[in-house]
Amino acid sequence: MFFRPLPWDYGVRNLWRRPGRSALTMLGLATVVFLVLLVTAFVRGLETSLAKSGDAQVVLVHSLGAAENIENSTMPGRSTGLLAASLKRIESRFGERYVSPELYLGSEVTTAASTAPSKGLVRGVTMSAPLVHRQFQLQAGAWPASGEVLVGRLAAAKLGRNTRELAIGQTLHFEGRDWKVSGQFAAGGTALESELWCPVEDLQQAMKRQDLSLVAVSVSDPEGIVDLAEFCKERLDLEWQATPETAYYAALQRHYGPVRAVAWLIVVLVSGAGVFAGLNTMYGAVVGRVKELAMLQTLGFSRRAIALSIVQEGTLLAAAGSLLAAAVALPLLSGAAVRFTMGAFTLRLDSTALLVGMLTGLAIGVVGSLPPAWRALRMPVVEALKAI
């Protein structure tokens, strides 16, 4: 049997016949898609930040059993020299071995503009840190001298402070003393960008401790990772453990797996709410057109053709709403910083997030149009023509 669809422009003209209802429907769909884009950008930002963090050549040496809580690790101050003297496959250049002693902790940080403390991440480092953490880029200012601190690009977001409060020349207070901001750095979107870096000797003096949290070692080849792990196993008296940096951040990814699962569940729930909203709107639109749909049947158009036209209208509204949501979300969400337990990261509205949002919007348009179309077309033509 020959299938004769309604003209394409018939569905388009119907949208303009009811501009108020069409605009409200489009705004409702745009709101749903915007929420989907927001949650998806959060998940993508978290995943990308952890995926970028970690260098395949870097191994973190820390106390035994502190693999997931390095801030609780303690190592003697002489650990750096012992590792540098005992291992051969450590990357070096011009006689400088890539070994970075670090003191890492969470600390209460206050600024000159606000005395209310915020939880920040502080890392005591030496000049060797940029050699090991190759993502490091000094964006402004200078390397911190004694009594100074280097601020990560997302440190203000982690502290919940305005970026002006952490500008070069400002004063921060943590661990019982004041620190002058000497510069700002980026680290390629990794977790390091949430941190405050200061000289490790100054941090040890402020905390009245001489130990370290970890020693980051950059090995020259994959065998160096094996050698380092074997060294830690053989020296049982040291109670050290060697964790590749990539494995450390992979463990963090697994740790935040439930958070990502809940976020995707929110996407599903928001999408489901959008489907029901679309159903209500389309029901209202279709019920008011019962006579029109019956007349189309008397003119020879099949129920399938009429249903296709209704779905076309819903899909057009959903597509317009999805594009509107994307147009608002791209400048508003992309790159926005978010505080999290691990530090801070930026929302990532990439192609994957946009694809999820667009497909969700189109699915709402299609699925929300089918039940009302089916209900209206089930009514006998004679009864539909008499409907008020």
- For residue 256, what pLDDT is reported? 82
Tokens 């071995």: give the residue: 97
Which residue stretches of the chain are H helix? 8-17, 19-52, 79-86, 129-132, 155-159, 200-207, 222-234, 245-255, 257-287, 290-298, 303-333, 351-378, 381-386
Query: pTM for this one?
Result: 0.81
The pLDDT-based confidence of 87 (bands split at 50, 70, 90) is confident
**Residue 117 neighbours by CB distance under 10 Å:** 14
For 43, residues 6+ apart whose C-beta sits below 8 A from its C-beta are 260, 263, 264
- Least Cα distance to 192 among 86, 100, 328, 95 occurs for 100
Mean pLDDT of 82-97: 86
Q: Is it the case that residue 360 has pLDDT exceeding 70?
A: yes
Contact of 385 with 370, CB cutoff 8 Å: no
Pairing between β-strand 118-125 and β-strand 195-199 as defined by DSSP bridges:
parallel
Tell me, what's the pLDDT at 253?
84
CA 181 to chain centre: 27
Within 8 A by CB and 6+ apart from 322, the residues are: 29, 30, 33, 357, 358, 360, 361, 362
Among 124-128, 370-374, 382-386, the minimum mean pLDDT is found in: 382-386
Please state, rounded to an integer, the average pLDDT across all residues of the chain.
Answer: 85
Which tops the pLDDT comparison, 213 or 237? 213
Rounded to whole angstroms, how far apart are CA atoms 112 and 166? 9
Residue scoring higher pLDDT (5 or 216): 216
Sign for the CA dihedral angle at 165, 167, 171, 172 comes to positive
Residue found by looking up tokens 């941190």 in the block: 195
For the record, the structure tokens of 241 come out as: 């453990």
The model's pLDDT over 344-355, given as tens digits with 9 standing for 90+, comes to 888 999 998 999
Name the CA radius of gyration of the chain, rounded. Answer: 30
**What pLDDT sits at residue 1?**
47
Tell me the average pLDDT across 103-115. 89
| Mean pLDDT value of segment 67-93 | 86
Provide the pLDDT for residue 341.
75
Q: Is the pLDDT of residue 285 over 80?
A: no
Burial (CB count within 10 angstroms: exposed 0-12, middle 13-18, buried 19+), residue 107: buried
Joined together, the tokens standing for residue 106 give 């969470």
Residue 54 DSSP SS3: coil
Tens digit of each residue's pLDDT (9 = 90 or more) over 132-186: 999 999 999 999 999 999 999 999 999 989 899 999 999 999 999 999 999 999 9
The residue extents of the domains of the chain are 8-51+256-386, 58-218
d(CA 230, CA 242): 9
Of the two residues 44 and 12, the one the predictor is more confident about is: 44
Query: Do the strands 99-111 and 214-218 form a parallel or antiparallel pair, or are they unpaired?
Result: antiparallel
| CA separation for the pair 9, 32 (Å, rounded) | 27
How confident is the model over 246-261, as a mean pLDDT?
A: 85
Higher pLDDT, 387 or 67: 67
